[in-house]
Amino acid sequence: MGTVAENIEAIRARIQAAAQRAGRDPHSVRLVAVSKHQPLEAIQEAMAAGQTVFGENYLQEAEAKIAALGQAAAWHCIGHLQSNKARIAAEIFDCIETVDRLKLAKALETRLAELGKIMPVLVQVNVGGEAQKAGVAPEEAGQLCRDLKQFPHLSLQGLMTMPPFVEDPEESRGYFRRLRLLGEELAAQGFLGREGVVALSMGMSGDFEVAIEEGATLVRVGTALFGERDQAV
């Protein structure tokens, strides 16, 4: 593996190539650098290389990093959020990709209203129907998106998913496609993408190119960018 800066450059080139293969504008894909369990220095290195969007899974860790590195970057919550942590999440994040139930949405709305802050959010969908994974079932996503309309401080941008783990990224293609089709269906029904663009957060280190071919607008890349995670961080 190269330095963080070299890795970012290589990933950007792969994003561009995948977008071009699919006949898409490379600028329609944003790279979210997944910095969980990565030290501050690695994140600073990424920032110095022009990376502006970071994804964090754990609230306490994110709080410390955002306090240290501040508003120079945009911070996405990509981890499971308990409703009792919604207050802090509402305060520190710039986007919450993991809204998967009404109770959480309500708790976020309450704090966001107090703050006078509009939060871009994604609905997390459990496309693989895995019992151990967070996310709303695909057939219930429409209802949740509809319910979110009652919350003026949640700006619903699209959908996020984390499909079942597979060795061969080609095996993820069907799940990514399913999320895109679901997004298109919900947009057609008027529940998503008021501006006509539905955000789709899908694809990680092992399969982000396949995800881009299937329509990802946000790819969440950790180990391919930073290297292995340090559990002590």
- Positions that interact with ligand PLP (CB under 6 A): 34, 36, 57, 78, 162, 204-206, 220-224
Beta carbon of residue 221, minimum distance to ligand PLP (angstroms, whole number): 5
* CB-count burial class (<10 Å; 0-12, 13-18, 19+) for 188: exposed
Token pair, residue 53, equals: 């969007």
Nearer to ligand PLP, 124 or 213 (CB): 124
Token pair, residue 80, equals: 């499971």
Q: Length of the chain, please?
A: 233
Cα–Cα–Cα angle for 185, 79, 145, nearest 5°? Answer: 25
Beta carbon of residue 205, minimum distance to ligand PLP (angstroms, whole number): 3
Beta carbon of residue 216, minimum distance to ligand PLP (angstroms, whole number): 12
* CB-count burial class (<10 Å; 0-12, 13-18, 19+) for 224: middle
Alpha-carbon distance of 207 to 196, in angstroms, equals 26
Beta carbon of residue 27, minimum distance to ligand PLP (angstroms, whole number): 21
Nearer to ligand PLP, 10 or 146 (CB): 10
What Rg, from alpha-carbon coordinates, does the chain have?
A: 17
Nearer to ligand PLP, 153 or 182 (CB): 182
Which residue's beta carbon is nearest to the bound ligand PLP?
Answer: 222
Which uninterrupted H or E stretch holds 138?
A: helix 138-148
Beta carbon of residue 67, minimum distance to ligand PLP (angstroms, whole number): 21
Token pair, residue 110, equals: 């309450």
Nearer to ligand PLP, 125 or 153 (CB): 125
Nearer to ligand PLP, 77 or 153 (CB): 77
Beta carbon of residue 208, minimum distance to ligand PLP (angstroms, whole number): 8
**Residue in the structure block whose two tokens are 């970057």:** 73
CA distances, 207 to each of 50, 91, 127, 147, 169 (Å)? 23, 31, 15, 31, 5
Nearer to ligand PLP, 216 or 221 (CB): 221
